[in-house]
Structure 1
C-alpha cells in the first residue's frame, strides 16, 4: 500500500486508539519486576483495576489476550465433564462455547438469532429443568462485539436466583469494560473476563479475571488442569504487588495511567460519552436508510454499531474502498455476518469530531461505491451531538 498522509482512523471495535499519555507510560524504561518500584506499581494497578470492575474482590491480571482470560475463568472453576450453560449472542459467545468443548467440558448452547441479547427467561427455564444440578456455570457475553448487542447481566443474575440454582455466573466484558456501565459486585457475578485493548485504551496484551468468593471456593474443588492460569499462584504473589512469573511490565505502566485517566474523566462521564457517540452513529445509520444489526433498542451497544448493507452489496468491498480513500479501518462481519455487515467502533479514547469524521468516511465510501443511501447521515449525527452535550457528572 502506498503512503497515506494524515492520521489513520482506527474505527474497529478494538483494538482502539491508545492515548498519548498511555503510550508515553508504556514507552518508559522497563523496570525490575522483582524490585521495590515494581511492587508499588503492582499494588497500584491491582487496586485500581478493581474500581473499573466495580468490585472489592481480587482481579487477576494475565499477560494474555482476552481469550486467555476466557480459559482462566473456565479452568479455575470447573472440572472435566462439567456442564456449562451458554447463550449464542454472536461470534464471540460461539468461540467461548468451542473453547469449553476443547477443554473437556460439556457446554450447552441456547440458540440465538445474532440480533438480540441473552434471554434471561430461557436461562431460568433451563436451570429449573436441571433438577440434578449438572449445570455448574452459566457463561454469557455482556457486549457481543460481532453484533453490537449488549445483554442485561443483572436480569441474568435475577433469573439464576429465581431458579434457585447454584450455578456460577461467568461474564465476558472484553468489549464493554470501561465503555459501558458494569457492576461485578452489585450484579453478583462470579468471574468477569476483561481485556486491555478496548475501553481500557491499551494495546492488546493484558487480560483480567475479577473473581467472587464463590468462584474462589469453586477453584479449590476444580479439577481441570491449570498452571499458567492458576489463580492461587497469582493471588499469593499479588499480595505484595508482584506476579509469579514475568508480567507485561510496560503494559502495566500504561494500565496505571489508563485507570487514572478514566477516573479523571469520571466513569459516569465515560459511559455517557460512549452513549452519545453510539446514538449519533445510529442517527446517521437510520438516516442513510440501513438496518442496525441489533434489533432491540434496549440492547443497543455503546461500544460499536453493526450496520447491515442492502442485499447485493458487499460490506467488505465498502470497507476496502473506505480504507483506500479515507485511511480508515472499520470492523468486518464475522461468521454468518461476513460481508453482510460492517462495524463502526466508537469506544476508548475519542471525541465528537472523531465520531463525525468516521461517519463522513463511511458516507464518502457509500457514495463512491454507488450503494443506495439517503445523503445527510453525518448532518443527522451532528444535529444530535449539538443538541445533546449532556452535563458532566463529578469525576471520581
Structure 2
C-alpha cells in the first residue's frame, strides 16, 4: 500500500541526502584517467582537508567506515601490538573486535555505555605502561549507539601528560561535518570518517586523515595491507588520481557536499546541530523520559538516545512509528537492544524537520501506550522560536 508524503529518515545515519547532492551524483560517469578527473580528485582531496581541519594527507576509500577503521590499524601497527581502546558503546566495541581479528591485542577501558571516554583513566593506564608496550589509543569521537561525545583534546592532553609515544586514532564517522573537529590542532594521528552522516552523502566513501607521525609509523608497520595501503594512495593522489578505480560519481557528490558545508559556514553548521540537540533533549525531558547519556558535557549534537520506561519495548514503539507515521528511528544496539530508541538530528536538517520528527515521536508514544507527559513538541518549539528571535535581533 502506498504511503503518501515523504519518509522521515531519522536514524543517526545514513542521513537524508539533499537533492543538490543527488543531482551532482547523477552526472555522467567520468573517465577516471582523464585530465578532468584529476581536477575533480584534487577538489575532493583538498576540500576534505578543510573538513578535517588538517594540512596533512587525507585518503579517500570506496568503503564504509569499517574499511577506514581497518586502514587506520593496518597502516600503523604490527601483529601483536597492544592497543588501548575505550568501550564507550557498540561501535567502539566493533572497532575492538576488528582489532582482535587483525591479530592486535586490544586492552579495554570499559564504561557503562552512558558516558564518553575517560581521559583520566587513559592517562593512568599510559603512566603505568612504563615499557611503552601500548602502541595506539583508539577513541570514538561521537558514539552513535549511545549519543555520547568524547573530549578529544582531553584525550590528547592525557597522552601528553603521561609522556607516552602512543599514536592517537579517532573515529569521527558520525561527527565529521556536524561537530567541531580539528585533526591538526588536537594532535590526532589518524582520523577515521565516513560519507553517510554529516557529509550528507549515501554510504560508500570513507576517509583517513593522517599525521606525519602516523605516516612514519606506516613505514615499519607489519600488518598485511594491499587495498588499504596509504603509500600507493598518497602517491597517486598527488595529481588527483587513485591507484584503482575510485567511486567516481560519489566524488561528484562529495565535492558538492563540501561546497554546501562551506556555504553555510562550518561554525554555523556546528551551532545548528547543538541547537537541534538541545531542543530534542528538552522534548525528551518534558515527556518525562530519560536521555541515555548521563553527563551533560558528553551530550551528542547529532543524535539523542532515549531510554524506555521499564516494561516497554523500544522496538515496538519504533515499529508503530514506522508503520503508522512513516518515520524511521534508530534501534538500540548490542546491550541496549530494545531498551532505547535513537533520534538522529544531523546532516541537511532544519527546525521544521526536527519538529516533524518530535511530533511523530510524541504521537507514537500515545499510540504505543508509553507513559509520558505531553508537551515535548511545544517545549522544543519554544526553544527554537526563542533562538530564531535572538538570531533576528543579532542580525538587525
Matched, 1:382 2:377: no
The residue aligned with 1:24 is 23
Q: How does 1:241-390 map to 2 (within 5 A)?
A: 241-389=240-388
SS in 1 for 2:111: coil
1:12-64 alpha-carbon deviations (Å, 9 max, x no partner): 00000001110000011000000011000001010000000000001000000
Shift, 1:369, TM fit = 1.2
Shift, 1:370, TM fit = 1.2
* TM score, norm. by length of structure 1: 0.98
Q: How does 1:2-41 map to 2 (within 5 A)?
A: 2-41=1-40
The residue aligned with 2:74 is 75
Mapped partners of 2:370, 2:46: distance in 1 = 50
Mapped partners of 2:125, 2:52: distance in 1 = 28
Gaps of 5+ in 1: none
Judged with a 3 Å threshold, the aligned counterparts in structure 2 of structure 1 residues 55 and 391 are, in CA distance, closer, same or farther, namely: farther
Extract structure 1 runs of 4+ deviating beyond 4 A. none
Q: CA RMSD in A?
A: 0.7
Shift, 1:391, TM fit = 3.9
Shift, 1:130, TM fit = 0.5
The residue aligned with 1:174 is 173
The residue aligned with 2:146 is 147
The alignment of Structure 1 onto Structure 2 pairs a total of residues equal to 391
Mapped partners of 1:323, 1:155: distance in 2 = 39
Mapped partners of 1:285, 1:192: distance in 2 = 32
Mapped partners of 1:391, 1:98: distance in 2 = 46
Matched, 1:219 2:231: no
Shift, 1:3, TM fit = 1.6
1:53-104 alpha-carbon deviations (Å, 9 max, x no partner): 0000010000000000000000000000000000010000000000000000
The residue aligned with 1:192 is 191
Q: How does 1:202-213 map to 2 (within 5 A)?
A: 202-213=201-212
Q: How does 1:127-138 map to 2 (within 5 A)?
A: 127-138=126-137
1:222-247 alpha-carbon deviations (Å, 9 max, x no partner): 00000000000000000000000000
Shift, 1:295, TM fit = 0.3
* TM score, norm. by length of structure 2: 0.98
Mapped partners of 2:367, 2:346: distance in 1 = 27
Mapped partners of 1:338, 1:150: distance in 2 = 20
